[in-house]
A = this chain, B = another copy of it.
Amino acid sequence: VFFHSEDQFVGWLRRRWPERAAGLSLGIGDDAAIIRPRRGHDLVLTTDLSIETVHFRLDLHPPQAIGHRALARSLSDLAAMGAKPRYALLSLAFPRAAKRSWITAFYDGMDQLAARFGLTLIGGDTAVTGEAPVTADVIAVGEIKRGQALRRQGAKPGDLIYVTGRLGMAALGLSLLKAGSPERKAGAMPGSQNIARAALAAHLYPEPRCAVGQYLAKYRLASAAIDVSDGFARDLGRLCESSRCGARIWQDRLTPVVLIAGGAPRYDSLCIGLRSDSLHPLDLALHGGEDYELLFTVPRSKAARVPRSIAGIKLHRIGEITAERRLRLRAPDNQELALEPQGYDHFQERN
């Protein structure tokens, strides 16, 4: 037994998270937490499960990364609404055989991300199981000025479509991780190791785009927004479904956004190192999942006010909203193809 009792465990958590946050009246260790919302602000609440074998594997993912990713999932939802992260609660179930060092590293990963975003852990629940998978449920509470929150609905035909960062990097990182010793296998071609490192980091330690979401909300630039968690095409489809519209993505504008931006030859050598031909960059970008980038729409009248980057994160204009309720990919030769969601869906068999 690595902690003697639940009370001892809660005491350990309390020492990690003293009650120091503004607006927090009562944190860990009582029946519930108490927060004092700021006047004129709405609260944004989201919760995300991270389950062993479904969302991560103990043999592939270091505990720090598991903790980081569990929180990043929720923070990315707050980012998509434009909310500033404030508080989190964590429900954690782990088997009795879990090691204290694993638990500590898990919390380290979560805490380091939380600290960077000014977020305080204020409560949660813990269960020790026999052999059930490690399960974390992270509840994040964000704050935003009344009425400023971004939603999936609100995009209008003619609005321009933007995405942050690079699509497909996280999916490439996962493939590298599964292939094992990725940096060694990445081949001798100069530069491919850098791509491999960046892809692994994108998968293991994704960075929620909170600063971008908050900027878009504050300056009322975006007509709709969503985070790209289940694959670009699927999440674009959700934004369009909520907004009752369709979208046209310009492939030539998307190309610089996908992971091959570092150089196609280097990428090819990486894939040769992986002995895989299933990693077409465009496929990874459109369907890869777990990018935790932001996808948002901007009315054309506001397009001139959209900066090229926010807090160091590049914004790419990649398409436009259409009245016709379909997703289309326009190839460089102006042919248009249907863009079908192929990202991960819990209710369908895994690929």
Footprint of B on A, CB under 8 Å? 1, 3-9, 25-26, 29-37, 39, 41-49, 51-55, 77-78, 80-81, 83, 87, 89, 91, 93, 122-130, 132-133, 135, 137, 139-142, 144, 146, 149, 151-153, 226-227, 230, 238, 241-242, 345-348
Q: Which residues of B contact A33 (CB under 8 A)?
A: 44-46
A35 close to B30 (CB less than 8 A): no
A132 close to B51 (CB less than 8 A): yes
B137 close to A32 (CB less than 8 A): no
B137 close to A129 (CB less than 8 A): no
A128 close to B32 (CB less than 8 A): no
Q: Which residues of B contact A49 (CB under 8 A)?
A: 91, 93, 125-127, 137
Q: Which residues of B contact A77 (CB under 8 A)?
A: 31-32
**Residue among B1, B35, B81, B129 making CB contact with A348, cutoff 8 Å:** B1
B347 close to A32 (CB less than 8 A): no
Instruction: Report the nearest B residue to A9, measured CB to CB.
Output: B347
A-B contact pairs, 18 of them (CB 8 A): A1-B347, A1-B348, A7-B345, A25-B149, A32-B81, A32-B142, A33-B44, A33-B45, A34-B81, A34-B149, A43-B43, A49-B125, A52-B132, A53-B132, A54-B128, A89-B139, A91-B137, A132-B132
Q: How far is the CA of A3 from the CA of B124 in the complex (A)?
A: 30
**Residue among B5, B34, B144, B230 making CB contact with A345, cutoff 8 Å:** B5
A45 close to B32 (CB less than 8 A): yes
**Given A81-B31, A93-B51, CB of A132 within 8 Å of CB of B130:** no
**Residue among B46, B127, B227, B347 making CB contact with A128, cutoff 8 Å:** B347
Q: Which residues of B contact A348 (CB under 8 A)?
A: 1, 4-5
A45 close to B125 (CB less than 8 A): no
Q: Which residues of B contact A26 (CB under 8 A)?
A: 149, 151
Q: How far is the CA of A225 from the CA of B229 in the complex (A)?
A: 41
Q: How far is the CA of A226 from the CA of B7 in the complex (A)?
A: 14
Q: Which residues of B contact A80 (CB under 8 A)?
A: 31-32
Interface centre among A45, A54, A132, A152 (most CB of B within 10 A): A45
Q: Which residues of B contact A142 (CB under 8 A)?
A: 32
Q: Across chains A and B, which 3 residue pairs bring their CB atoms closest together, nearest first?
A: A32-B46, A37-B37, A137-B137
B93 close to A135 (CB less than 8 A): yes
Instruction: Report the nearest B residue to A152, measured CB to CB.
Output: B30
Q: How far is the CA of A274 from the CA of B35 in the complex (A)?
A: 47
A130 close to B53 (CB less than 8 A): yes
**Given A31-B80, A32-B78, A47-B89, CB of A42 within 8 Å of CB of B54:** no
A347 close to B124 (CB less than 8 A): no
CB of A80, distance to nearest CB on chain B (Å): 4
Q: Which residues of B contact A242 (CB under 8 A)?
A: 29-30
Q: Which residues of B contact A37 (CB under 8 A)?
A: 37, 41-43
